[in-house]
Structure 1
Amino acid sequence: MTQSNTSPLPASTFPAKEVAVEGARLWVMDSGGEGTPLILLHANTSTVASWHEQFVAFHGAGYRVIAFDRRGWGKSMADPATGPQPGSIAEDLEGLVNALGLEKFHLLGIAGGGFAALDYAAWKPSRLLKLVIAGSNGKFTEPEMQDFYARIAVPGLTGRLEVRPYLEVGVAYRSENPEGFQRFIAMEHSSRQEGAPEQALRTPNTFAKISTIATQTLVLMGGSDLLAPPALMKTWARHLQRAQFALIGDAGHSINWERPDEFNQIVLEFLSQPVSTN
């Protein structure tokens, strides 16, 4: 089914600003409003530019939607004069939350943003209302997961920058929306600042670590994801206390970009369920 990601709204549609955290000035898009905050963490191949369809749908549903370019990505600039480098995404997120005066919020992370969302959820559980992890291998240290990562790698292709978009975006989307795929390639090629160090997790992701996460969690999978296939996501997600699963059958790794209508509907249905602490 062809979806709507052909001409997302420009960045200027929603307010954007710099927010200072320790060691960086984060570029933040914030829809504003009085709704429950929903923070989005982008993938390693993207920036806030990947979230336009989600901003429209989630803000339209009444949420205050917030996304930021990670340190060293997009327009977020490291500032060594104010703190050590490169820090962790989880610590930058906590700095942003404090700067914006937020108390509790929903958190959604996709792919590399999913690594950080799990890291943050285990560290600051009292902050979170609900958690969504989409299209993410979780970046786990367990030998079981390391073996899984190795088994699904494509010899001669996995890790090569020039072919990465073809692994990141599913074949169905590439065949039906070539213009959208070209925009994805352009975003991916310009997403990370040259020479910017990758931020480590605050603490390594392990099964024992995520087993402490009691937050209601949606694990959203793409049936055609070559980098985090459903079998891989189910392997680590079974260690979460309160996970539920959803699948978009023909979506690749960049689920929110490829299938925004289905993605948004599934996330909104999950968020609309009563928040339970049991």
Structure 2
Amino acid sequence: MTKTDKISTNRRSMLKKATAVVALAATCGMSRNVNAHRQNSLSHTGKTEPKYLPSPKQAPVTEGVLALSGGAGLYYWDTGGDGPAIVLSHPGRGSALTWPYQQPIFSAAGYRVIAYSRRGYYGSPAGSKDDTGNYADDLNALVEHLNVEKFHILGLAAGGFAVSDYAVSYPEKLLSMVIVCSLFGLWDKNIDERLDAILPKSFGGLPPEFKEIGPSYRWAHPEGVREWIKMEKKSRGDGKRHGQSAKSNITWEKIRAGNIPTFFIAGGADLYQPPSMMRAAAREIPGSQTLVVQEAGHAVQWEQPELFNQAVIEFFNKHS
């Protein structure tokens, strides 16, 4: 069997698994049609708790640090391979280390998986405060360095800012985009102003694991919470960070103009970005798909990786 045959076989196998999940979800009233104004959901009605999944063995990767101007740099890892590329854009409480549950699964499905740390996060020098660059150009420099012409992109939480900036600045390079627990990097008065009503002023001072991880997971899987805390602390790097802005002025009109297949995923117990906010954003992009992962908080990919991975792979397969 050739390498191409193996990739094709792996992807067909993962697609069958993803289809099974969709069939199960349909019996619980799941719909992916945003235009029909129906919410995706998956209910757990049994008395047994889903088993805790430790981080799987990681696929081999090539690592490096791409040097940028002003002494900054981007740490990245890359599984390589001939399949379509996926770029993972991390949350504010993460880095390229955020994806242990996704890296080997996406790779086994036949994809080339790439993750990077933005400036000032794990492995990435912050550089000069007078030269902070922007989300889109930093990412574009990385994909050009890695000889990636077109790719899928997945952004989690603050990672969605980089996704929206790239989608507006370089839309021709994206095969599709997945937005997880995030509302992009644009300001929408009708959506963003309501955050003041759901998040108290004291919210910022609460422990990261309380804000990021859903209560069901924190109660059922303390070992997983401990691993997440280790990842989050390591992701902070040396603590030096200057912040970064977008390359482009991001609007819904510009995002729609890119005509990029879009998949929104929300955690049913997310304190930052509840499903109602996700649906409001999804209504702005005709034809977009949605998924609500019940009981999950702001770290869906960590709390319920099996469902998350299967749904994302199914979406990427459809648009590769």
Normalised to the residue count of structure 1, the TM-score between the two structures is 0.90
The answer to whether the aligner puts 1:108 opposite 2:161 as a matched pair is no
The answer to whether the aligner puts 1:164 opposite 2:212 as a matched pair is no
- 1:170, 1:251 within 8 Å by CA — same for their partners in 2? yes
Q: Please, which of 162, 173, 185 is the counterpart of residue 127 of structure 1?
A: 173
Consecutive unaligned residues in structure 2, runs of 5 or more = 1-48
How far apart, in 2, do the equivalents of 1:213 and 1:41 lie? 19
Cα separation, partners in 2 of 1:226 and 1:108, compared to 1, 3 Å = same
Alpha-carbon offset, residue 137 of structure 1: 3.0
Amino acid at match of 1:48: A
**CA offsets, 1:70-92, max 9 Å, x none?**
11100011344xx9521122211
Q: Please, which of 192, 203, 208 is the counterpart of residue 146 of structure 1?
A: 192
How far apart, in 2, do the equivalents of 1:189 and 1:18 lie? 20
How far apart, in 2, do the equivalents of 1:206 and 1:112 lie? 17
How far apart, in 2, do the equivalents of 1:127 and 1:182 lie? 38
Q: Which residue of 1 aligns with 2:310?
A: 265
Cα separation, partners in 2 of 1:204 and 1:59, compared to 1, 3 Å = same
Alpha-carbon offset, residue 46 of structure 1: 0.5
How far apart, in 1, do the equivalents of 2:88 and 2:109 lie? 15
Cα separation, partners in 2 of 1:139 and 1:164, compared to 1, 3 Å = farther
Q: Please, which of 31, 34, 37 is the counterpart of residue 85 of structure 2?
A: 37
Amino acid at match of 1:115: F
Q: How many residues get paired?
A: 270
Alpha-carbon offset, residue 41 of structure 1: 0.4
How far apart, in 1, do the equivalents of 2:226 and 2:92 lie? 17
Alpha-carbon offset, residue 147 of structure 1: 1.5
How far apart, in 2, do the equivalents of 1:3 and 1:90 lie? 38
- 2:156, 2:181 within 8 Å by CA — same for their partners in 1? yes
Alpha-carbon offset, residue 50 of structure 1: 1.3
Instruction: Give me the CA root mean square deviation.
Output: 2.0
Cα separation, partners in 2 of 1:165 and 1:206, compared to 1, 3 Å = farther
Q: Which residue of 2 aligns with 1:209?
A: 254
The answer to whether the aligner puts 1:54 opposite 2:102 as a matched pair is yes
Alpha-carbon offset, residue 263 of structure 1: 0.6
SS in 2 for 1:53: coil
Consecutive unaligned residues in structure 1, runs of 5 or more = none
Identity of aligned residues (%): 35
How far apart, in 1, do the equivalents of 2:174 and 2:99 lie? 20
The answer to whether the aligner puts 1:97 opposite 2:143 as a matched pair is yes
- 1:21, 1:96 within 8 Å by CA — same for their partners in 2? no
- 1:22, 1:92 within 8 Å by CA — same for their partners in 2? no
- 1:213, 1:240 within 8 Å by CA — same for their partners in 2? no
**CA offsets, 1:116-140, max 9 Å, x none?**
1011111111000111111113343
Alpha-carbon offset, residue 142 of structure 1: 2.5
- 2:56, 2:100 within 8 Å by CA — same for their partners in 1? yes
- 2:172, 2:258 within 8 Å by CA — same for their partners in 1? no
Q: Which residue of 1 aligns with 2:183?
A: 137
SS in 1 for 2:73: strand
Alpha-carbon offset, residue 274 of structure 1: 4.3
Q: Which residue of 2 aligns with 1:16?
A: 63
Larger radius of gyration: 2
How far apart, in 2, do the equivalents of 1:14 and 1:274 lie? 25
Normalised to the residue count of structure 2, the TM-score between the two structures is 0.78
Alpha-carbon offset, residue 200 of structure 1: 1.6
Cα separation, partners in 2 of 1:206 and 1:152, compared to 1, 3 Å = farther
SS in 1 for 2:296: coil
Cα separation, partners in 2 of 1:8 and 1:207, compared to 1, 3 Å = same
Q: After the TM superposition, which parts of structure 1 deviate over 4 Å for at least 4 consecutive aligned residues?
A: none
How far apart, in 2, do the equivalents of 1:97 and 1:39 lie? 9
